[in-house]
Chains A and B, each alone.
Chain A
Amino acid sequence: QKEVEQDPGPLSVPEGAIVSLNCTYSNSAFQYFMWYRQYSRKGPELLMYTYSSGNKEDGRFTAQVDKSSKYISLFIRDSQPSDSATYLCAMWGDTGRRALTFGSGTRLQVQP
């Protein structure tokens, strides 16, 4: 079983929709929870990160972490065609590994 599970999609929504992306994880040692965005033929870029449980908002993006359920979410409001990309959740913690642990990514397509 993977440490981090993420639905690969693809997820197709109309422009302006609210998008919900999710990951579940199994290792309770994770403390930092990140969302990376990866456009086709590009490297991942960090969108936002959250430390421990709670919410964090940045413009149209909101990240939520529920450590009790081992569940994290990214919400995108008023989605735009330029949001079309693969979204990767990633986690970091005191696991003994000096590496981000990634989900496999969800491909999002926002239709104009």
Chain B
Amino acid sequence: EAQVTQNPRYLITVTGKKLTVTCSQNMNHEYMSWYRQDPGLGLRQIYYSMNVEVTDKGDVPEGYKVSRKEKRNFPLILESPSPNQTSLYFCASSLSGTYYEQYFGPGTRLTVT
């Protein structure tokens, strides 16, 4: 089954404790992206990757890091989480050239206390 998977689905952590949210897709997609979803603000892009070893900032990159060492994986790293990073996070992927047709993962609900 073609899908985007994320782990963990739910995470409660404390301020300053480094964490990684994993994202993996099995559709051989070149493009991958991370979004956060907050009430009233919709989905906002954090980082994206056009292909392996090619990443760039989105609209709200502060406090986040990413890497793209393999085509299928695109982990999101929070080196020192803060309460304002409490949010619902989605990973998405698409073929290059059809960026409008993005496939989303099931989401990771993160709470930072």
Binding site for B on A (CB under 8 A): 4, 6, 8, 32, 34, 36, 41-46, 49, 88, 90, 92, 97-100, 102-105
Q: Which residue of B lies closest to A45 (CB)?
A: B104
| CB–CB A98/B105 < 8 A | no
A102 to B58, CA, bound (A): 13
A44 to B31, CA, bound (A): 17
A80 to B106, CA, bound (A): 23
- Can you name 25 A-B pairs with beta carbons within 8 Å? A6-B42, A8-B40, A34-B100, A36-B104, A43-B90, A43-B107, A44-B43, A44-B90, A44-B104, A46-B101, A46-B103, A49-B100, A49-B101, A92-B99, A97-B58, A98-B48, A98-B50, A98-B56, A99-B45, A99-B48, A100-B45, A100-B100, A102-B44, A104-B40, A105-B42
Q: Which residues of A contact B33 (CB under 8 A)?
A: 98-99
Min distance, Cβ B107 to any Cβ of chain A, angstroms: 5
A1 to B23, CA, bound (A): 32
Chain A CB count within 10 A is highest, among B42, B50, B92, for B42
Q: Which residues of A contact B41 (CB under 8 A)?
A: 104
The 4 closest A-B pairs by CB, nearest first: A43-B104, A99-B45, A32-B100, A104-B42
Chain A CB count within 10 A is highest, among B43, B45, B48, for B43
Contact among B58, B103, B105, B107 with A99 in the assembled complex (CB-CB below 8 Å): B58
What total count of A-B pairs have CB within 8 Å? Answer: 60
Q: Is B13 an interface residue (CB 8 A)?
A: no
A111 to B102, CA, bound (A): 30
Asked, given contacts A34-B100, A98-B48, A98-B99, whether A42 binds B42 with beta carbons under 8 Å apart, the answer is no
Q: Which residues of A contact B58 (CB under 8 A)?
A: 97, 99
Q: Which residue of B lies closest to A43 (CB)?
A: B104
Q: Which residue of A lies closest to B104 (CB)?
A: A43
Min distance, Cβ B102 to any Cβ of chain A, angstroms: 6
